[in-house]
A and B are shown apart, each in its own frame.
Chain A
Amino acid sequence: MLIEVFGPGCAKCQTLEKHAKLAAEQSGGNHQVVKVSDYAVMVARGILSTPALALDGQLKFQGKVVSSDDILALLKG
């Protein structure tokens, strides 16, 4: 799956990126984590608050740092 992490690069966004990478590793599947820091892209995707996370283009969370366990659950579910 394509895991996109959106954020300008503040501390919260970096933490979320770390969590996403950890979850991708733990799941053992074929996942790719991409960091998106372009505001224009975020706006087009309907993101109002950062950090945000999307799976295969589908926005899942915004405005909060979710744990790697929560991301793992999404990857498996």
Chain B
Amino acid sequence: MSEPVRPGFLRRGGWLLLALPLWATLYAVNHAASEWLTFRLLGLTPKSHLGDAVAFLFYDTPKVLLLLTLVVFIVTFLQTFVSPTKVRDALSKRRPGLGNALASLFGIITPFCSCSAVPLFIGFLRAGVPLGVTFSFLVAAPMVNEVALGMLFAMFGWKIALLYAGTGVAIAFTSGLILGRLRMERFLESWVQDALNAPSLGEAEEESFTLPVRLDLAVQGVKEIVGKVWPYILAGIAVGAFIHGYVPESFMAGLLGKNHWYSVPLAVLIGVPLYSNAAGVMPIVEALLGKGAALGSTLAFMMAVIGLSLPETIILSKVMRPRLIATFVGVVALGILLVGYLFNAIL
């Protein structure tokens, strides 16, 4: 405290004071800039199919990228406080019920990459986390994606964000509880059973960070994630722009509206093979909701895209026998369908 303004002030987090107003300014002028670009500079006609689609494109691309940058920054910063190791220790030897609830909640914020699914799965079991509780975590971690949650909050408000998080946690809690009751330990691959009983060869040391380091990590997270997902976002926005400009409202409301029994399963069936990520799916969700698709169907679509991904299932098939995998996917899919029907019925 002896030097109030040290030379490294900017480097130690002071840059945020410059970056935040810049961000706010860009966000504030985005709408006007996109209209000017579309209707003045390009001379497209307002309310025409092409004009609407192009305006959506110019408006949504900066908007989604700006929001994503902020959301990823906040999320990565928060994530420097949690790690799979801490979660594992908190869940170890927990009874089903409370354990499932905690695991589902931890699943929201814990950094998780599907290529880590296998060591994490076995590591949890080895530390005495029950199988059902481990499943709750494995369902919640990809399904309630922390970036998706932040983006939903920023784009559609807290009600939809809370619905998404609440239903995702409920699905993770219940499916973990069910999978735990089914006593499916014997359906783990035999090498996993061996690995569970193998002697430990060491433990990772826990890292602790200072505030500037946490901010640096958050910036790294932004560079890494935004640098990686922007093609998905552009693809999502292109699909969104097409839906926005060309798909008639009656068509979407009919197909994914609340009056047909098939709209929810259809949303899930379209969603599962679509390999995208949380951020890429947002512009599509935006366009679907704008065109009168029901909220339940849209949530089901989003959860199927993010939560039931084919790549993760393939990775997990290395540790689980087909019957366990099928049960896992079946229970989660059933949960998503229920959520879809529930919200189509009550909203």
Interface residues of A (CB under 8 A from B): 7-8, 10, 12-13, 39-40, 42-50, 52, 57-59, 61-63, 65
Tally of contact residues, B, Cβ under 8 A: 32
Report B208 CB to chain A, min CB distance, Å: 14
B194 contacts A by Cβ under 8 Å: yes
Question: 8 shortest A-B CB distances, which residue pairs?
Answer: A10-B115, A48-B84, A49-B116, A46-B203, A48-B123, A59-B204, A40-B195, A43-B122
Give the distance to chain A from B215, nearest Cβ to Cβ, in Å.
16
Are B118 and A39 closer than 8 Å at their CB atoms?
yes
Asked whether, in the complex, the Cβ of A59 is within 8 Å of the Cβ of B202, the reply is yes
Q: Are A8 and B118 in contact, with the CB atoms below 8 A?
A: yes
- B115, A13: Cβ atoms closer than 8 Å: yes
Question: Contact between A47 and B119 (Cβ–Cβ < 8 Å)?
Answer: yes
Cβ of B126 within 8 Å of any chain A Cβ, yes or no, is: yes
Q: Are A50 and B116 in contact (CB under 8 A)?
A: yes
B48-85 interface (Cβ within 8 A of A) = 83-85
Given the interface contacts A10-B115, A49-B84, A63-B84, does A44 sit within 8 Å of B120 by beta carbon? no
Q: For the complex, give the distance between the alpha carbons of A10 and B116 in Å.
A: 10
Write the nearest CB–CB distance from A14 to chain B, whole angstroms. 11
Task: Find the B residue at minimum CB distance from A49.
Answer: B116
Whether the Cβ atoms of B119 and A48 lie closer than 8 Å is yes
A61 CA to B205 CA in the complex, in Å?
9
Within 8 A of A (CB), among B111-128: 111-113, 115-116, 118-120, 122-124, 126
Q: Is there an interface contact between B116 and A63, defined as CB atoms closer than 8 Å?
A: yes
Once bound together, how far apart are the Cα atoms of A8 and B113, in whole Å?
12
Question: How long is the Cα–Cα vector from A39 to B315 in the complex, in angstroms?
Answer: 12
**Contact string, B186-205, partner A, CB cutoff 8 A, digits 1/0?**
00000100110011111111
B residues contacting A by CB (< 8 A) are 83-85, 88, 111-113, 115-116, 118-120, 122-124, 126, 191, 194-195, 198-205, 207, 224, 315, 318-319
Interface pair B113/A39, CB less than 8 Å apart:
no
Residue of chain B at shortest CB distance from A39: B118
7 intermolecular pairs with C-beta atoms under 8 Å apart: A40-B195, A44-B200, A45-B202, A46-B200, A46-B203, A48-B204, A59-B204
Residues of B within 8 A of A44 (CB): 195, 198-201
Distance of A44 Cα from B122 Cα, bound (Å): 10
| Given known A-B contacts A44-B199, A48-B123, A62 and B204 have beta carbons under 8 A apart | yes
Q: Is the CB of A48 within 8 A of B115?
A: no
B119 near A50 with CB under 8 A, answer yes
**Docked complex Cα distance between A62 and B207 (Å):** 10
B336 to chain A minimum Cβ distance, whole angstroms, is 26
**Do A57 and B83 touch across chains, with their CB atoms under 8 A apart?**
no
For A42, give the chain B residue with the smallest CB separation. B119
Please state if B122 and A39 are interface contacts (CB–CB under 8 Å).
yes
CB-CB under 8 A from B111, the residues of chain A are 49, 63
Chain B positions within 8 Å of A12 at CB level = 113, 115
Asked whether A8 lies within 8 Å of B201 as measured between CB atoms, the reply is: no
A12, A43, A59: residue with the most chain B Cβ atoms closer than 10 Å: A43
> Quick check: B116 and A45 within 8 Å, CB to CB?
no
Residue in A closest to B120 when the chains form the complex, CB atoms: A48
Q: Which residues of A contact B126 (CB under 8 A)?
A: 43
B119 touches A49 (CB 8 A): yes
- Residues from chain B with a CB closer than 8 A to the CB of A52 are 204
Q: Is the CB of A43 within 8 A of B115?
A: no
In Å, the complex CA distance between A49 and B124 comes to 11
Inter-chain CA distance A57–B205, complex, in Å, is 12
- Our pick among A7, A46, A58, A62 for the contact of B115 (Cβ within 8 Å) is A7
Interchain nearest-CB distance for A40 vs B (Å): 5
